[in-house]
Amino acid sequence: MNTRRDFLQKMAASAMVLPLMPLAGWAKDLDRYDGPVLRVALMGLGGYANRVADAMQACTKAKLVGVISGTPAKIKDWQSRFSIPDKNCYNYDNFDQIKNNKDIDVVYVTTPNALHHDQVIRAAAAGKHVICEKPMAVNAKEGQEMIDACKKAKVKLLVGYRMHFEPKTLEIIRMRKNGDFGKIMFFQGQCGFTIGDPTQWRLNKQLAGGGAMMDIGIYAINGARYMTGEEPVWVTAQETKTDPVKFKEGVDETIQFQFGFPSGAVASCLSTYNMNNLDRFFLDGQKGFASLQPSTGYGPIRGYTNKGELTQPHVTHQTVQMDEMAGIILEGKQPIIPVDGEEALKDLKIIDAIYLAVKTGQKVALQPV
C-alpha cells in the first residue's frame, strides 16, 4: 500500500488544479499524514465525476489514480488533468481486467442509476472495493444482489451518501441523540428543482429507473431516517404530473409522500423536478427544533435550531466523504451514519413502497428493520 509521503512529489505537478488550496498549505497537510492511501478509479466521467475528482485533489487519505469510460476523448482529457497513467485507463468492455491492477483499490461508480447493478457486480468480481452513487440501484431486488455479490467477493460496498459526513447535519443528529429536541414528533423534507434538457438520461426510465424520486427524492427519504433516528413502518404517496410529454410513463415529475415511525412521529416530504427553491429539512420535537436550508446541496449548508445558528465550517462535501470512506475501507472506521450497501438497501425498499403507494393509492406497510 502506498503512503501519501510516497507520492507527494509526484502529485505536486498537478497541484495547479487546486483552486482553493495554496500548494504550500496543501503539501503541509499531506506531509502530516503518513498512513495508507485509498487509490480510486472513477467509472463514468460525467458532471458529478468531475466534481468528485476535483474535490479529491484536497484529500489526504484518497487519491484518484484511474478512470473507466466509454469515451476515449474523455479518458485523454482526464489523463492530462489528473496525471493518470495509461495502465490505469479502461473502457466498459475491458474494465474486468482491473483485477490484475494492483495499483487500484476501489472503483467509484458514477454512471446512470440503471447501470449500477451490473457494474458494481463486475467490479466486485474483479476483487475491487466499490463505492456506488445513490440510489444504489433502481429497486431493492437489484440492491440485494449487489450486496450479495460484494459479500461473496469479500469486498466492501459503500454508497455516496455525502451528507452523512456533513458537519451541521451531524451536529443536529448529536443534539437529537442528546435529547436536546425532546421526543421527535415531525420531519419535513422538501427536495426539488426544475429540470432542464428533456433528452437527458435522468428523464429516461431505462437509465434512471424513475424520475425525481430516483435523483432528488432519495435525499428526503434518507434524511427522514437519519434526522429522526427511526425507520418508517408505513408510507403513503401521491403523484402529480403536469407535463406528460417531458415526464413520460414511469418518470415521476412530483411525488408527495408521508411516513409513519414506530414512536408515533410522522414525516411529510416532497420530491419534484418541476419546482425550484426546494432544499429544506425541518425536524420538530417537544422541546426544540432544527432546520436546514439548504439541506442537501453542495454547500454551504445553513442550519438553525431552537438554540441558535449552526456555525460548523463548510468543507467540500466530496473531499470529506472520500477521506472518511478511505478510513472505512482501509482502517475499519465506523461512521456516525452508515454508508454501506445495507443502508442504501433500506432507502431502495422505501422507494419501492412509495411507487407502490402511488400506483395503488393505499397505505403500504414497511417491514421492520
Q: Which residues are catalytic?
A: 134, 219
Task: Please give the Cα distance from 265 to 187 (Å, whole number).
Answer: 8
Torsion of CA 275, 277, 278, 279, to 10 degrees: 150
The answer to whether 113 touches 142, Cβ cutoff 8 Å, is no
By DSSP bridging, strand 157-159 and strand 184-192 are unpaired
CA 347, 348, 351 angle in degrees (round to 5)?
90
Instruction: Give the 3-state secondary structure of residue 98.
Output: helix
By DSSP bridging, strand 308-309 and strand 234-240 are unpaired
Grid cell 466492501 in the structure block, residue: 156
Instruction: Give the 3-state secondary structure of residue 323.
Output: helix
Task: Please give the Cα distance from 350 to 368 (Å, whole number).
Answer: 12
By DSSP bridging, strand 106-109 and strand 89-90 are unpaired
Q: Of 33, 41, 47, 96, which Cα lies nearest the Cα of 64?
A: 41
The answer to whether 116 touches 145, Cβ cutoff 8 Å, is no
Helix (H) or strand (E) holding 169: helix 167-177
Task: Please give the Cα distance from 292 to 302 (Å, whole number).
Answer: 6
Q: Helices 47-56 & 317-331, crossing angle to 10 degrees?
A: 70
Amino acid at 190: Q
| Torsion sign over Cα 91, 92, 93, 95 | positive
Q: E-strand spans in 286-344?
A: 289-292, 303-305, 308-309
The answer to whether 242 touches 274, Cβ cutoff 8 Å, is yes
Task: Please give the Cα distance from 110 to 131 (Å, whole number).
Answer: 9
